[in-house]
Amino acid sequence: MANDKDFIVKNAVEVGGPTNVTLGTVTSNNIDLATGNYFKDTLAANTTYTISNAGDVQSFQLEVTGGSTSYDLSSTSYDNKSYSVTTQETIPSGLAFKPDGTKMYVAGRSGDTIDQYSLSTAWDVSTASFDSVSFSVISQDANPWGLFFKPDGTKMFMQGYGSDGIYQYSLSTAWDLSTASYDSVSLSVNSQSTTPKGLAFKSDGTSLFIGDGAGNNVYQYTLTTAWDLSTASYASISYAVSGLATLQHITFNNDGTYLYILDTGSDEIVKEYSLSTAWNVSTASATGNTLTVTAQDPTMHGLVFKPDGTRLYITGNTGDNIYQYSGGDLGITWPSSIEWAGGVAPAAPAASETDVFTITTDDGGTSYIGTKTADNLS
């Protein structure tokens, strides 16, 4: 068998380089040894590997980068990371991020503003800092609650808790609140809700959704021109949510097949609902999956997911913090033909970490011996 050291490769591998490594392909979780002897894979889901075409290959390596579960409340937990916005805001409500995770925006009811922050590490709220940029919305509503941006950062939408309205703003420089201005365009939702809490849009901007904190309903509106509130009207589609204390906020997964509601009562709980027809709230039903977040703050107000669903962020009204949560690490099921050193199959690497596994065979692929030869590769 080949010496394991001959196969240790860090980061990028040069095909045909001095280590005699040939990059192979992993397709549909199958490691095809006819294509090479060094393989790279990034986990996007819990993964069961297979091995094919061993042939004359006696030893190969698999470099695996770990991932997190996506939109999975059952495996989500607090990251022990938060950011205090108390200097700018003591009643934070709405929350939004730039899609690359380098900017964060918080709507607050004590300052009547939208505040802008930069994150030195994308999607890590503990690295946030205030940009000294605040945009006042008091002329529209002194109690901003929900907040949403068009994905290109040129439009911002604010939900007013006091006026029962949705307001539209333009940013002449994308994602820069210092360039924001009111479009003099609004939508009254008073006929459906006098306590609007939570604002969300369909990904293409043709549907708008609000939560109703008094009746625990979710209402749906249609925009005939995407991202233009002047074309919005009630779609006569709603979902009466049972089993809630008080609906505080809503958000969706990225394809509209799941709805998430922040419920506040004796406990602060995020609850999940499945939509049998994407982006149609009348088809929603509870899945039973929940996440209790009371331990971080007894009065939560807003929530939003990272676009890939691996992180969740919630605004805490009591501590004036933004709290960060992550999904659980994805797992690997190894082929039963591999006998692992120590007799125990290794776990998958943690999210964003990279491990290398060396696997050898001396019988043409009937059986293998495996070892983990690099841990948290850098």
Q: How confident is the model at residue 378 (pLDDT cuts 50, 70, 90)?
A: low
User: Based on the domain organization, do 96 and 120 belong to the same domain?
Assistant: yes
Q: Are residues 234 and 359 in the same domain?
A: no
Q: What is the mean pLDDT of residues 52-64?
A: 89
Same domain for 61 and 79, yes or no, is no
| In a shared domain, residues 288 and 358 | no
Residue 174 has pLDDT above 50, yes or no: yes
* Residue where a domain terminates, one of 287, 306, 326: 326
Residues 152 and 293 in one domain: yes
Task: Tell the burial category of 80 from Cβ atoms under 10 Å away from its Cβ (0-12, 13-18, 19+).
Answer: exposed
Residues 307-336 have pLDDT tens digits of 999 999 999 999 999 999 999 999 999 999
Please check the confidence at residue 212 and state whether its pLDDT lies above 80. Answer: yes
**252 HSE (CA, 13 A, CB side):** 24
What percentage of the chain exceeds 90 in pLDDT? 88
Q: What is the pLDDT of residue 135?
A: 97
Q: Please report the pLDDT score of residue 2 as a whole number.
A: 38
Asked if 34 and 84 sit in the same domain, the reply is: no
- Tell me which residue range forms the domain holding 54: 4-67+329-374
Tell me the average pLDDT of the chain.
Answer: 93
- 224 and 209 part of one domain: yes
Both 111 and 127 in one domain: the answer is: yes
Residues 348 and 308 in one domain: no
pLDDT digits (tens, 9 = 90+) for 241-256: 999 999 999 999 999 9
Does the pLDDT of residue 7 top 90, yes or no? Answer: no
The distance of Cα 114 from the centroid of its chain, to the nearest Å, equals 22
CB 146 within 8 A of CB 201: no
How do 47-48 and 217-223 pair as beta strands? unpaired
pTM given for the model: 0.84
Q: What is the CATH number of the domain that holds 126?
A: 2.120.10.30
Question: What's the pLDDT score for residue 109?
Answer: 87
pLDDT band (50, 70, 90) for residue 346: very high
Q: Do 221 and 279 fall into the same domain?
A: yes
- Band (pLDDT 50/70/90 cuts) for residue 13 is very low
Chosen domain end from 326, 346, 361: 326
Co-location of 50 and 83 in the same domain: no
Residues 27 and 127 occupy one common structural domain:
no
Residues of the chain with pLDDT > 70, as a percent, come to 95
pLDDT over 80 at 6, yes or no:
no
For residue 8, pLDDT over 50 is answered with no
**Per-residue pLDDT band at 377 (split at 50, 70, 90):** confident
Query: pLDDT, tens digit, for every residue of 261-301?
Result: 999 988 999 999 999 999 999 999 999 999 999 999 999 99
- The Cα–Cα gap between 166 and 233 comes to 12
* b (16+ CB within 10 A) / e for 328-350: bbbebebbebbebeeeebbebbb
Taking only the tens place, the pLDDT of each residue in 133-154 is 999 999 999 999 999 999 999 9
* Cβ 347 vs Cβ 62: under 8 Å: no
Please count the structural domains in the chain: 2
The position carrying tokens 């709507």 is: 107
